[in-house]
Chain A
């Protein structure tokens, strides 16, 4: 199946700092989503972004489908940004339509 690799695995920041999280995938995709998993375990949608660039407040994401990677930018980080960030992809072929494959996540800790 498709491989999804996220980096870095862990990131520790001081409040106010900026960060970039990366997601590499091994094949063409029909869907790519970024999620934030809060301490209570819920996966919160951040972006649906199979290609292009989107922004939502302090967060933005870019997917370069032809080069098989996506980046999540967090600016002016806050303690509430702490948690695990997951990238998940739906392969364009060779898999059930709609099935998401997840990376192992990036654990972000923001200190006050």
Chain B
């Protein structure tokens, strides 16, 4: 069974530029998550989708971050304009259903903003 796929793996951009990350969850998984992990910390939830609807985006900095999950499968996370503090690993994860299920993570997308 294929895991959660993410791209690109690494990205370096200048501040105020934009960047987009793509995620393809495990087939059949209804719930998709984007987490942000800053160096030395545990991951923090940015946004959670159930199929193509947003369940929780309370910690998403909406002035610069946006995410969508069209057709309830793939998802993209966009940052525009990027700030230095956005340097982090962006982790996509998926699970069969929202609660009480194992959550599987992709390899992550490393972002460096210079």
Mark A58-82 against chain B: 1 for CB-CB distance below 8 A, else 0.
0000000000000000000000000
Task: Please give me the residue from chain A that is nearest to B105 by CB atom.
Answer: A43
Residues of A within 8 A of B41 (CB): 104
Indicate the size class of the contact surface on chain A: 20 to 34
Count contacts on B: residues with CB < 8 A to the other chain: 29
Instruction: Identify the closest chain B residue to A90 (Cβ).
Output: B99
Chain A residues numbered 14-46 whose CB sits less than 8 Å from any CB in chain B: 30-31, 33, 35, 40-45
- The contact of A103 among B42, B56, B93, B101, by CB within 8 Å, is B42
With an 8 A cutoff between CB atoms, is B19 at the interface? no
- Say how far A100's CB is from chain B's closest CB, in angstroms: 6
- Assuming A43-B91, A44-B105, what are 8 further A-B pairs, CB within 8 angstroms? A42-B106, A86-B42, A88-B43, A97-B55, A98-B55, A98-B101, A99-B45, A102-B42
Is the C-beta of B48 less than 8 angstroms from some C-beta in chain A? yes
CB distance from B90 to the nearest CB of A (A): 10
Please list the residues of chain A having a beta carbon within 8 angstroms of any beta carbon in chain B: 4, 30-31, 33, 35, 40-45, 48, 50, 86, 88, 90, 96-100, 102-105
Interface residues of B in 68-114 (CB under 8 A from A): 89, 91, 93, 95, 97-108, 110
Q: B89 touching A41 by the CB < 8 A rule?
A: yes
Q: Does B31 contact A (CB under 8 A)?
A: yes
B27 to chain A, nearest CB (A): 17
By CB atoms of chain A within 10 A, which of B89, B95, B104, B105 has the most? B105
